[in-house]
Amino acid sequence: MTLKNTLSKYLLAGIVILALATGKSYAGGFPVRPGRISLSPSATYFFANKAWDADSHKGAFANNGKFSSWSYSLYSEVGLSRKFTLSVLAPYVMNTFSTDLGTSKSSGFQDLEVGIRYYLANINYKYYFSLQGTAIVPMYTNTALGYNQKGAELKLAFAGSGHLFGKNSFFILENGVREYFGYESVFQDRYNATYGLTLDKKFREQISLSVGGFYATSINKDFNVNPSASKNFAFNQVSLSYGHAFAKSLSLFLTGGTFVTGRNTGAGTNFSASLNYRIDTK
């Protein structure tokens, strides 16, 4: 195997890791009021030097391999009415994989996601059920950045608020099933549970704990480091987030997470920072 092919192999493996690490939930299951525009730019750093194989055995990358990446994204959600919201997610990544044999890099836009969320019902305006449909369109032709296949996702969410230890609290439960269309299509199940506490009476400080995971399957059960062919993998991760509100319309969120189990995927750690800015047009 040539040096170029060896580096490309591990870079592609790293991109699979990044795609999983940055698959996060943004607005959750709470309503966005009609006329409100929510903008959330974010930056994520991810590092890994180990991976789980097909039997969930963890080991180091060959040749002292190390993968690191910066991912930037812009998420926006608009309240169309009391029942519907429109969301758009556009991500861009910059990846580096280095080994004793050399270094390889890859960068570019990934999949554009456009979704419509429908609020099915609520219980005393305290607990909310919602259903979201999302169209997935690749913004690239280089298969080093993703499957390069169109897809669709259907996600159900349940969110609510309450009190714990005298503090205001909230929870979000989400499960989304996704299908990429084309040769050897991929079915994915993405799930997440978040519980958070507001630390002060002015609702300026909050912390939250999330547990989530990802399961993918296809008629192709073989392991392949190329993300356009690696279609059988799974992982679970935990993350802790801190949020601070500078004003009613501007908040900052800092998050750290790590993978705890996996199969055919990397074992790494990620850190992210995101802003949430809200504009009310009505």
Per-residue pLDDT of the chain in tens (282 residues, 90 and over written 9):
454 554 555 554 555 555 545 544 454 789 999 999 999 999 999 998 888 888 899 999 888 888 888 999 999 999 999 999 999 999 998 888 888 888 888 899 999 999 999 999 999 999 999 999 999 999 998 877 888 899 999 999 999 999 887 889 999 999 999 999 988 788 999 999 999 999 988 889 999 999 999 898 877 666 444 333 457 888 899 999 999 999 999 999 999 999 999 988 878 899 999 999 999 998
pTM across the whole model: 0.88
- Residues 106, 145 contacting (CB under 8 angstroms): yes
The rounded Cα 46 to chain-centroid distance in angstroms is 12
* CATH number, position 194: 2.40.160.40
The boundaries of the domain holding residue 230 are 3-280
Cβ-based neighbour number of residue 27 at 10 Å: 22
Q: Is 72 exposed, middle or buried (0-12, 13-18, 19+ CB in 10 A)?
A: middle
The DSSP bridge pattern shows strands 233-247 and 250-263 to be: antiparallel
| Residues sharing a CB contact under 8 Å with residue 5, sequence separation 6 or more, in sequence order | none
Question: What sign results for the dihedral spanned by CA atoms 226, 230, 233, 238?
Answer: positive
Distances from the Cα of 204 to the Cαs of 100, 160, 190, 234, in angstroms?
47, 19, 30, 36
Quote the number of domains for the chain: 1
